[in-house]
Amino acid sequence: MEYTQLGRTGLTVSRLCLGTMNFGPQTDEPDSHRIMDTALEKGINFFDSANVYGWAENRGRTEEIIGNWFAQGGGRRERTVIATKVFGAMPVEGYSGDSPWPNSDRLSARNIRQAVDASLRRLQTDHIDLYQMHHVDRRTPWEEIWQAMETLVEQGKILYVGSSNFAGWHIATAQEVARHRNFLGLVSEQSLYNLMERSVELEVLPSAEYHGLGVIPWSPLHGGLLGGVIRKTEEGRRRTTGRAAEALEENRAQIQEFEDFCDKLGQAPGTVALAWLLHQPAVTAPIVGPRTDAQFASALDALDVKLSAEELARLDEIFPGHKTAPEDYAW
C-alpha cells in the first residue's frame, strides 16, 4: 500500500480513501464490517463518512455501523484515520416536523457543537481525526466557525479540519481568517474530480495547493460512467435510467473512446479512471465507495497501474482538462 501526507500535516494516510456512503442504504452491516476489515488488511487506513450518511429517515446510520465496527476492538479504531462531516440537517430529539429545526443544518457554533458530540456517540470514539465541513455556509461568519473548531481541537474532540465542495475563494478566505487567529485552518478539500469533471483544475486545485491542502476527490468514476458503463449495459449487467441515462447518451462517443482505450491497455475502465487520479500531483487519496467486495477489489487494482506520459496525454485528448485560470480562457 502507498501512503502519503495529508496536505502540510504530519498525518499519514493511504493513497486510497474508503468511502462509506453506501454502508446502510445499500450495504448491510455485516458486509460493511467485512469491507472495512479487508481495507485494514490491505493497508487502507483512511475512511470517510458524514453525519447525514444513511439518508432520509436513517441519517446517522452509516456512522453507527462504523461505530459498531470500532467497538469490536482488535485495534480497529487505533489503525483507522476516521473522517466525517458536518452540515446537513439532522434529526433533533423530540422534534418530528417536516422542516429542519433551526440551526440543525448550518455551521453555527451551536450546531457544530451538537453535531460533533452526536457523531462521536455514533462512532463510539473519543475523537475524530478529520472533521470536514460538508458544504460552505455563506451565512455564518468565519470567525464564528473557527472559534467553534478551535474549541473542539482544544477539547481533543477533533484533530484536523477539512472542507468539502468549496470554491477556490472559499478556501482562500477560510485560510486567511484562520491565519489571523493563529490557527492551522483547513488541511484538506474534498471535491468532485474525475476524468469527466475537471472544473476544479481552474481554481480549486491551485488554491488547495497554494494553501497546503490535501485533495480528496469524490465520485472518481463519475457515478459509474467511467466504470465501463457501455459494455455493462450491452451485456445486461447494468441498467441506466434518469439522469445517468441522459448523461450516458450526451457523452456516449467520448465514453466509448475511453473504454476502447482501456481495452488496448488491458485494464478495466474503472481501474484506469482511478489510476489517472492517482497520477495527479494535487491529489492525496481518491474516495472509493464500494457496495460489494468485488467492487472494492477492483478499486485496489488501480494502485498497481502506472500510466506512461503518452497514456496520460491520450486520456487528456479524450477528456480535455483545464489550465489554471486565467490561462485557461485566454484566446
SS3 249: helix
Active-site annotation holds for 53 = yes
d(CA 221, CA 321): 16
DSSP letter string over 70-122?
HTT-TTTTTT-EEEEEE-S----TT---SSPPTTSSS--HHHHHHHHHHHHHH
Torsion of CA 231, 235, 239, 243, to 10 degrees: 20
Amino acid at 43: G
| Phi, psi angle pair for 18, to nearest 5° | -80, 110
d(CA 23, CA 295): 14
Contacts of 297 (CB under 8 A, 6+ apart): none
| Phi, psi angle pair for 81, to nearest 5° | -90, 105
| Phi, psi angle pair for 118, to nearest 5° | -65, -40
330, with CB counted inside 10 A (0-12, 13-18, 19+), is: exposed
Question: Which helix (H) or strand (E) segment is 218 a member of?
Answer: strand 214-218
| Grid cell digits, residue 98 | 417536516
| Phi, psi angle pair for 243, to nearest 5° | -65, -35
- The angle subtended at Cα 110 by Cα 107 and Cα 115, nearest 5°, is 70
DSSP 292: S
d(CA 109, CA 104): 11
| Grid cell digits, residue 64 | 453507527
Residue of 3, 53, 95, 131 marked catalytic: 53
For the annotated catalytic residues, the residue numbers are 53
